[in-house]
Amino acid sequence: MQPEVADAVSSLKEKGVLGDPPASYLLRTARGDLVSVRLEIRALLYLGVLLLTTGVGLFVKENHDRIGPAAVASAIGLAAAASFLFVIRRAAPFTWERAPESGIAFDYVLLLGLLLVAADLAYVEVQFKLFGPNWPYHLLAVALVSGAAAFRWDSPVALSLALSSFAAWRGVSVNVLHGTLGPGRLEETRGNAVVCGALFVLVGIVLVRAEKKAHFDDVFVNFGLLLLLGGLLSGVFGERHSWGWWLLALAVVSAAVIAIAFRGSRMLPFAEGVVAAYLGSLRLLFEVVGKIHLGSAFFLVVAASAAGVLALLVAAHRRMKER
Amino acid sequence: MRAESAGFERAAAVREAAMRWRKAGVIDAGTEEAIGSDYPDPRLRPSAVWQVLVFLFVTVIVFGVLLALTVSGIRGSLGAAFVCLLVGGACVYATELQEQSLNLALRGGTGATALWACVLLVVAAGLFFLEFGALRGELGTTVLFAVSVLVWGTASWRWGNPVFALFSAISLFLLLARQPYGRLLWIGLGAGIAILAWRRLDDPSWPPPHRISAAVLLVAALAALYVAVNYWSVETWWIEKRRPGFAWTAPPRVVLVVSLIATALMPAAVLAWGIRTRRLFLIDTGALLLILSAVTLRHYVSLGPLWAVLGVSGALLLLGALVLERWLSRVPDKERSGFTAEPLFSDEAKMRLLQAIPVAATLSPSGPAPTEERFTPGGGSFGGGGASDRF
């Protein structure tokens, strides 16, 4: 219950600011007489997909010798097909605009189908070695299938799976929780992260310019910037000799991101650019000040630099509001 | 909380509701503007991303100054305690100043200085206790928890931060665990706090942040109560083990039987309480406790292989969610007993975008190194989903 809101609705109704409807309906929600469990249903669906796909993964791992590869692959394929059947029957017609939501479960059942396809492809690849030494191509296949599904069924969830599978094909992990760019050789992974990131950002920009699925640009741009700036930062902190070049590249890219995001009043890319630029500048501070005196002076310079950035942020926020 | 801030928070609650009504198309922009002028909140309110950004940079400033002072010749625990006290005190002052400024109150810096003020004051107390023989060791730890309860509790009350109320509650239950009859204290005080917090949930004399703190305390108290009565917790003496000088003895059979019944009944009771009162946070808490009870059951009773348990649970959850949505939507007004699956005033387009975050965090594949010299199958994996190619 929200007592202030309930009182306000009654008072606004008396003053004639709110008519009836909607005053009675708003009063019911403010008093807690009507509540939505939509978020809870979403949480149940997400947890269901997570548990089910984990169970399938374990089942395959523990039983594939006993049941046989053909039976396992067919069973997972059938389950994936059932998921896609649900999706196809519920889907709205294709549009390049934002499609109307086809039910709360739609995205999750689509995700389940895609994860089952991914598991099936990986299993078939391990058992039958379709791609041979080029086996990571199954990740590209997953990325393409997920990408096509994302565009056809207007699903940001499927798109995020597509982008992360594409990056994984190049050995890059988009999961920042892992704390590394990927399991491969750092130099290669770093380069791949920068290229993948730039590609994603570019696709996001093209979609907006072409006005085709323009609302996907949030996913493309933010995934892309995460990889691009993460790759450049990895170069700044991971390279002993050429870190200066990486810092220069980071400075140029961050400045461009900050400027474009500032002009478009897009907060998340703006914040990503600012944080990346500041983190990169810490390496410079360490090289310039830290090597002379790694003591209180260094930490005071770090604090002062953060205060400087903060002042700039406040000024930028004021300018954004004025425009 | 200052009376002026409390007043602004009340107005902010109405303005926020009006904004959601307008976004949902229930009212027009003119009506939202009229509501805004009736309920003024002159504080500058940047977006959440701005607030996080400012929070991060204020944190860098606080730690920059703290480390600069720490490495400038400070020696021993007492010196470090003095530095923490100094910087913590400065953070308290900075928080008060920001709180009173219409331009700074909601920028994110207030939260950062308030958080670090509390952390540093508690750390200062801990370092101070290390220096004095009488308070060193177990007694000092107990007193430190008491200090933590007071510091976080006072900060929550003064600055209206529900997260600080949670920290205060955690400190309180850790303090109680170190006392004789800790489990009984958890049960008694857990139930007492739950009742007191419940009474304040809709108290109009409390500003919204304090009412949210009451909800947080209610959840923390129910969690403590559940831990105290859970079968596994009783069997392993999980609470008693926190007490200095604990010696293990077999738990009495009657206590185990009671805890077994409580483990089964408490989640259902909380869930029923939430449904009856239409409190979503209680329903969520009950659902979480239900999951914990299921995990406890699985710990003691073999329900089948893990893949089957996970697969069947996942399928049941999916099915349950679908059935619930259909059941709520298949009536003319799309509501039953005050519950609906409709979005009411939430931004569904934004929600669909936000869904991508947990998926990317838990289900995204980690790839192989792109140019492996030798063929080593099984490199890729589909994260938390378990749809893996590692067989």
Nearest-5° angle of CA A93, CA A94, CA A99?
A: 85
Contacts of A63 in chain B (CB under 8 A): 307
Residue of chain A with shortest Cα separation from B69: A296
The answer to whether A41 contacts B346, with C-beta atoms less than 8 Å apart, is: no
pLDDT in tens, A205-247: 999 999 999 999 999 999 999 999 999 999 999 888 888 999 9
Residue-wise DSSP of A233-267 = HHHHHH-SSTHHHHHHHHHHHHHHHHHHHHHTT-H
Q: What is the pLDDT of residue A80?
A: 93
pLDDT over 90 percentage in chain B: 67
The answer to whether B340 contacts A136, with C-beta atoms less than 8 Å apart, is: no
The three-state secondary structure class of B18 is helix
Q: How many CA atoms lie within 13 A of B4 on its CB side?
A: 8
Pseudo-torsion of CA A64, A70, A75, A79, nearest 10°? Answer: 120
pLDDT in tens, B289-299: 999 999 999 99
Q: What are phi and psi of A91, to 5 degrees?
A: -70, 145
The answer to whether A309 contacts B363, with C-beta atoms less than 8 Å apart, is: no
Residue of chain B with shortest Cα separation from A113: B387
Grade residue B198 by pLDDT with cuts at 50, 70 and 90.
very high
Q: Are the beta carbons of B26 and B6 closer than 8 angstroms? A: no
Q: How many CB pairs below 8 Å do chains A and B form together?
A: 379
- Write down the ipTM of this complex: 0.86
More confident residue, A36 or A101: A36
The runs of H, that is alpha helices, within chain B are 3-23, 29-38, 48-70, 76-100, 109-131, 138-159, 162-177, 182-200, 208-229, 231-235, 253-277, 280-300, 306-329, 348-354, 356-363
Give the closest of A26, A135, A297 to B377, CB-based.
Answer: A135
Q: Are the beta carbons of B162 and B209 closer than 8 angstroms? A: yes
Asked whether the predicted pLDDT for residue A129 surpasses 70, the reply is yes
The answer to whether B27 contacts A172, with C-beta atoms less than 8 Å apart, is: no
Rg (CA), chain B: 25
The answer to whether B370 contacts A107, with C-beta atoms less than 8 Å apart, is: no
- d(CA A303, nearest CA chain B) in Å: 4
Contacts of B372 in chain A (CB under 8 A): 184
Residue-wise DSSP of B238-284 = TTGGGSTT----PPPHHHHHHHHHHHHHHHHHHHHHHHHHT-HHHHH
The answer to whether A17 contacts B35, with C-beta atoms less than 8 Å apart, is: yes
Asked whether the predicted pLDDT for residue B385 surpasses 50, the reply is no
Model-level pTM greater than 0.90? no
The runs of H, that is alpha helices, within chain A are 3-15, 23-31, 38-67, 69-90, 106-128, 137-153, 156-169, 186-210, 217-238, 243-263, 267-285, 296-322
Separation CA A310–CA B4 (nearest Å): 27
Give the closest of A8, A51, A299 to B68, CB-based.
Answer: A299
Judged on CB neighbours under 10 Å (0-12, 13-18, 19+), A82 is middle
Supply the DSSP symbol for A36: E
Nearest to A257 by CA among A215, A231, A285, A226: A226
